Amino acid sequence: MLRDQTNFSRSEMARDTFALQAIGLRKTYGATVALERGDIGLKSGEVHALLGENGAGKSTLVRILAGAVYPGSGEMFLDASPYAPRNLMEARQNHVATAFQELSLVPNLTVAQNLLLPKLPKAGPWFVSAKETKRAGEKILARHGLNRIDPQAEISKLPLADRQRIEITRALENAGRVLILDEPTASLAETDWLFERISLARDQNVAVLYISHRLAEVREICSEATVLRNGSAIASVGLAEATDSDIFEMMVGRKAAHEKTPRSTRASNDRTARLAVKKLGGHNLHNIGFELRPGEILGVAALEGQGQQWLFKMLVGLEQPTEGQIYVDDHPVKLVGPRNALKTGSGIAYLPEERKTEGILGGLSAATNIVLPVLGSASRSPLISPKLETDVAQSSADKVEMSTRYLNFAIGDLSGGNQQKALIARTLATGAKTLLLFDPSRGVDVGTKQSIYTAIRNFADKGGSVLFYSSELPEIVQLADRCMVIYGGQVVRSFAREDITEQNLVAAMLGHVTSENSTEVKA
């Protein structure tokens, strides 16, 4: 069933059947080996998935193929001729284009300028023509079904999802032979547009490399997958022949438990709600009401941009509601910021959406990042004790199964999964009884996901309350005791326990609340 990557990629006969082939790519940063043995072969007109845990070397491999990083050793062939791009433009000249996960758009330039850089249309020998730039941008957007986006809008003014679409559109425009999509759905709640674009590119005989953590997506669009583990290509496998557990096993080297664990109802209705909200409104949200009781995990499901960010920000005081009231432990409160939220009643801790910009402090150690909200407990005198700091951090790190040896690394050097674990550990370390988690497993691998789920369940089992939003429906189905669906700034539906199914959630998220399926759900 599985072919050995090394054998088939080294065979001379196979070489000319690949649009882009990499053999034995290796990249080290100082003593750290980022990529040990990168082997991959992409065929024209096929979508190939790249799978692997965080830190497996996916990003490094992508960056080498994209021309952003130069490999230490190894070879690459583009249509059987040697390919060694020194930079991104060289790759682009060879019709290899990449949409990066962290987006490579210039925030203060317009959509059209970003799409056309570095060659903006000229009026005369020197000047850039604003009119032509706009027109060319408009054409590109129209070609990719994005007419609703204004080509003259500044990138920084667009929602994250549209920025991701622009990034993908730019790659599509430049990908004559090879298209590389690094986590293209990280900020997209639905994949219809993307898959339609990928299909079109595939029909034009473009080879597509698709990197994603979401196996369901990968199965939908990709025909073959290469799995990386610890910097080495483990195997290339036809997706039709491999089961999910086969793939998990290749990725993590162990069978991953994936089924929904049955739980007893922990929440009891007679206890006071930790967090309650009545008729809350503001920032396009209206009439939001819910109660979160001790021991309960409440999920929020919504398409992108339905106001879920604002809801979480209002609940920790980063934004002020214009109407309605928040109650903590049955007392009406006015929250003025995360620190204030932490100190109010039984405490509310918040995990923000953007790990890099809102979460980690890159230069500080993982331990410091974890104990940050409770620095006082890591000190005996006015001075912080490094020993005590590590001890305090350790107890929280254990809860998310984070290895001790990472605690003294600068958090910026850790993989995304470990950064996320550290941030979850931080919210646990605060001692708050209510956690607000915004997309707790965003962009992390399967193994890390399970550790995070376990930590959340354990927290709830000990009487903690959790409100979380997730862009992944299986996550809500697996974790939530109850779930509310937000659409157009309002809670349109609520589901409990066994009614929380992907089908029900999707229907409600799209605003399709017909009398027919609501009776069906009730029944």
- Tell me which residues touch other proteins (CB under 8 A): 68, 88-89, 92, 100, 103-110, 113-114, 117-120, 126-128, 130, 145, 148-150, 152-154, 157-159, 161-162, 190, 192-193, 303-306, 488, 510-511
Cβ 263 to other proteins shortest distance, Å: 32
Smallest distance, Å, CB 3 to other proteins?
34
Closer of 30 and 126 to other proteins (Cβ): 126
Q: Provide the 3-class DSSP secondary structure of residue 392.
A: helix
Q: How far is the CB of 122 from other proteins (least distance, A)?
A: 8
Give the separation between CA 326 and CA 335, rounded to whole angstroms.
8
Distance CA 410, CA 405 (A): 11
Considering beta carbons, is residue 130 or 372 the nearer one to other proteins?
Answer: 130
Instruction: Output the 3-class SS for 6-47.
Output: HHHHHCHHHHCCCCEEEEEEEEEECCEEEEEEEEEEECCCCE
> At closest approach, how far in Å is the CB of 197 from other proteins?
12
Tell me whether residue 220 or residue 241 sits nearer to other proteins (CB atom).
220
Residue 367 in tokens? 């331990």
- The contacts of residue 223 (CB under 8 Å, 6+ apart) are 46, 47, 48, 238, 239, 240
Whichever of 110 and 185 has its CB closer to other proteins, that residue is 110
Closer CB to other proteins, residue 363 or residue 386? 363
- Tell me how far apart the alpha carbons of residues 139 and 145 are, in angstroms, rounded to a whole number: 10
Query: Cα separation of 249 and 237, whole Å?
Result: 13
In the complex, the smallest distance separating the C-beta of residue 117 from other proteins, rounded to whole angstroms, is 4
Query: Quick one: which of 252, 247, 225, 220 has its CA closest to 238?
Result: 225
* Shortest spacing between CB 78 and other proteins, in angstroms: 19
For the record, the structure tokens of 493 come out as 């539906």
Q: Is 189 or 256 the residue whose CB approaches other proteins more closely?
A: 189
Q: What's the rounded Cα separation, in Å, for the pair 197 and 99? A: 13
Strands (E), 189-296: 207-211, 224-229, 232-238, 275-282, 285-292
Nearer to other proteins, 188 or 484 (CB): 188
3-class SS of residue 400? coil
CB of 105 to other proteins, least distance (A): 6
